[in-house]
Amino acid sequence: MSSTPPIATMLTYSFMQNAFAASGIVAVVAGVVGYFLVLRGQTFAGHALSHVGFAGATGAVLIGVAPLGGMIVFTLAAGLAMGVLGERIKARDVAVGVLLSLSLGLGLLFLHFYTAYASQVTALLFGNILGVDRRTTWYLFALGLASLMALAFISRPLLFASLQPELAEAKGVSLDLVSLLFLAIVALTVAACAQIVGILLVFTLMVGPAAAAGRLTTRLDAGVALAAGLALGEAWLGIVLAYYTDWPTSFWITALSGGAYFATLLGWRPKTALSH
Q: What is the residue-averaged pLDDT of the chain?
A: 83
User: How many angstroms separate the CA atoms of 96 and 113, rounded?
Assistant: 26
Whether 157 maps to a domain, the answer reads yes
In a domain, 155, yes or no: yes
Model pLDDT, residue 4: 46
Q: What is the pLDDT of residue 191?
A: 87
* pLDDT top residue among 259 and 94: 259
pLDDT, one tens digit per residue, over 147-178 is: 999 999 999 999 998 889 888 888 888 888 88
- Does pLDDT of 79 surpass 50? yes
pLDDT at 258 over 90: yes
Q: Has residue 274 been placed in a domain?
A: no
Domain for residue 194, yes or no? yes
Distance, in Å, from the CA atom of 200 to the CA atom of 275, rounded to the nearest integer, reads 23
Q: Which residue has the higher pLDDT, 184 or 3?
A: 184
For residues 13 and 120, the model is more confident at: 13
Q: Calculate mean pLDDT across residues 112-138.
A: 76
Report the CATH number at residue 203: 1.10.3470.10
Domain count, the chain: 1
Residue 276 pLDDT > 70: no
The answer to the question of residue 65 being in a domain is yes
Range of the domain at 47: 6-266
- 275 in any annotated domain: no
Q: 11 lies in a domain?
A: yes
Q: State percent of the chain over pLDDT 70.
A: 84
Please say if the pLDDT value at position 30 is more than 90. Answer: yes
137 within some domain? yes
With cut-offs at 50, 70 and 90, classify the pLDDT of residue 46: confident
The mean per-residue pLDDT over the stretch 226-249 comes to 94
